[in-house]
A and B are shown apart, each in its own frame.
Chain A
Amino acid sequence: MEYIYYPGCSLESAGKPYDESLRAVFRALDLGLRELEDWNCCGATMYMSVDEALSMAISARNLALAEQAGFRDLIAPCSACYTVLLKTNRFLRDSPELRAKVDHLLGEVGLKYGLGVNVRHPLDVLVNDVGTEAIASAAKRKLDGVAFAPYYGCQIVRPERGFDDSEFPSTMDRLFQRLGARAVYFPLKTRCCGGMLMTTFPDVCLQLVKDLLECAVENGAHCIITTCPLCQVNVESYQKRVNKKFGTAYQVPVMYFTQLLGHALGCSETELGLQRNLVPWKAPISALAA
Chain B
Amino acid sequence: MYAERVTGEKTVTVALWANARNCPETSKTNGYRHLLEHLMARGQNRDVDFKIESCGGFVTAKTTREAVQFSITVPKEHLGLALSTIFDILTPPAPSPERIRTEASIIREEGAIAEPSRFWSDAAWRMYGALDPGGDFDTIVGATREALLDTYKRQFSAESLVLAIAGDLSVDDVTAAAVKVLAVMPKREFKPVASVAPTNFAPTRGVGFGVAYTVQVHSYDTVQTAHALAAALSIGISVSNGFVFYTPSATRSLVTVGTITDAPALRKVIEHPNTAALFGRSKIAAKNWVNAQLVSGAHIAEFRGMLLCLRNDLRPEMLVDAVNAMTFDEFSRAVTKFQIPTSEVTP
Does B bind A?
A: no
